[in-house]
Amino acid sequence: MAPNTSNSSGYNTPDSSLESVLPIHPTAARRPHAIVVQSENTSYTDDYITAQYQNRGADVTVSNGQYIINPTVQNVQFRTKRAPAKTGLMMIGIGGNNGTTLCSTILANRHNIIWHTKNGVQQPNYIGSLLRASTVRIGTEPGTGKEVHVPVSDVLPMVHPNDLVLGGWDISGMRMDKAMFRAKVLDYDLQRQVAPHMELLGSPLPSIYYPDFIAANQEARADNLIPGTDKQAHLEHIRADIRRFKQDNELDRAVIFWTANTERYSDIIPGVNDTADNLLAAIKSSHSEVSPSTLFAVAAILEGEPFVNGAPQNTFVPGVIDLAERHKSFIGGDDLKSGQTKLKSVFAEFLVNAGIKPLSIASYNHLGNNDGHNLSAERQFKSKEISKSSVVDDMVNANRLLFKAPEIGEKGVPVGKGEHPDHIVVIKYVPAVGDSKRAIDEYYSEIFCGGRSTINIFNECEDSLLATPLILDLTILTELLTRVQYRNDTNAEFSPLYSVLSLLSYMLKAPLVKPGTEVVNSLNRQRNALEAFLKACIGLENNNDLLLETRIW
């Protein structure tokens, strides 16, 4: 089989010999869509799937202890472009553990590389991907009532991971095959076989390095840098990289993805990063509080390409959100939710919904990869601590029988958060364990009549092998959401979705949402929202777990 083609820009295009199996451009050999909805609410053309949907809700007014409820219905029409864009994924930090793992595993899947482990022969797969390895219920078989489940990726046309064109930047100029060996994530036999394909990726594009934002222990890696200190020049350089990447690979879309080291939090300063205009002016003046991740986000927005932040820092300062709204560009984040926090968002909800009162949640984990090395610095750890600590807030706010509400101060403004479990997060760097992260959680709760319950959970995982499928899902969902438009009773013309892609929340620890709206951290609610949206785009209602047919004569 012929190797992947490559060029001098540090990225690759899929092997042309695979076109009969894995089309480079999804429209070149598009198979009929797996799901066809026969309904007056759904119509199909060669270009679009159009669906009518009724968004049902309720307005609630509280008066003298009584809840007055007025059901509401909003008519919405969704239009989804059927052909996925030819999509590139440009990662900032492509030479790190996540970046090299993603590239090597896509190449292993693309070339069907089979390798040996101590447990036997292993084939490549996309286990861990919500889109490629999980299903949704779409209805029941007539007569038998047997439930029918389909892959999530079949609900709407989506990019296949194997078709992504790979590229990106890194402050380390190590060639991609060498960087993969440095990461020590994959089995050696897989590394050995995929190395020739990784070698063809060449070296990452030079990146920007502002030492104040990441740990000092990363300085030794910083040998592949865009020169100078002029942040406006850096912005233009990155924008040119994106344009060249798209042009050289004949791409319709490039998703820009931050998977580099965690930065310290940026200070929010009025007149500097609080509005789009102020932020652009701050970049021109090379203001010290403009972070590398914010600069990459601005570059993506100005180029009309989506940007996803996979780390916990506050990349999306108010000026970035303002700029994205102005350009109707798409942004999403923050921080990949892969293991401990994902479990916490399920387990804490289970306790609260069961009427059990968590008094404290103590989370400890240690790891030895470069992410752990960077997080050993106090300011970088603080970013991670903030993203991990808010994960139970919405569950607490939903049950004021267990947790006292905040006191109401002057002018009806709540004071503080109200009663809340003690929530402690500890991360330690232990080089010996490498990418294998160990996590311990203790849930200490009040139960019936003053009793106490303690539940301890120990989790061990290969950190990057949990994170990589999330990067793929976020990229593919982001591309899909750029193809969805809507109109409702107040909008006569079809419009793109709102710039902040909160539907990505399932994969993120600290979901970015539309300013002024509440954050949902419950994993079940996040999954239900995504599933309901995908179904709405083909004119289906979400799952009806009432199963009324089984409960009446």
Phi-psi category of 76—alpha, beta or left, where left has phi over 0 and alpha has psi -120 to 50?
Answer: beta
CA dist., res. 386 & res. 375, Å (int): 13
* Marked catalytic residue, from 384, 388, 435, 463: 384
Annotated active-site residue 344? The verdict is no
Give phi and psi for 140, each to the nearest 5. Answer: -130, 155
Token reading at 439: 């996590």
Token pair of 127 as six digits: 């286990």
Give kind and range of the element (H or E) at residue 436: strand 436-446
Omega into 334 within 30° of 0, i.e. cis? yes
Q: Is position 146 annotated as part of the catalytic site?
A: no
Cβ density class 4-20: b for 16+ within 10 Å, e for less: bebeebbbbbbbeebee
In the set 231, 342, 388, 509, the catalytic residue is 509
Q: How is residue 303 annotated by DSSP?
A: T
- Rounded to the nearest 10 degrees, the angle between the axes of helix 97-110 and helix 463-481 is 70
Convert 110-138 to b/e letters by CB count within 10 Å (16 or more is b). bbebebeeeeeeeebebebbbbbebebeb
DSSP assigned state of 136: E
Q: Are 371 and 365 in contact (CB under 8 A)?
A: no
Q: Which member of 15, 163, 241, 335 is catalytic?
A: 335
Exposure on the CB side of residue 287, measured as CA atoms within 13 A = 20
DSSP state of 500: B
Contacts 24+ apart (CB under 8 A), 543-546: 543/136, 543/137
Q: How far is it, in rounded angstroms, from Cα 515 to Cα 58?
A: 21
The residue from 437, 441, 473, 535 that is catalytic is: 437
309 closest CA partner among 258, 262, 263, 260: 258
Residue 428 bears catalytic tag: no
Phi, psi of 343 (to 5 degrees): -65, -40
The residues pairing with 165 across neighbouring beta strands, listed in sequence order, are 88
The 8-class DSSP code of residue 247 comes to H
Token readout for 506 is: 């399932």
By the 8 A CB rule, do 365 and 436 touch? no
Residue 12 and residue 14: Cα distance in Å, rounded? 7
For the record, the structure tokens of 183 come out as 């990461």
Is 357 designated active site? no
C-alpha 102/C-alpha 126 separation (Å) is 11
Please identify every residue annotated as catalytic: 335, 384, 437, 509
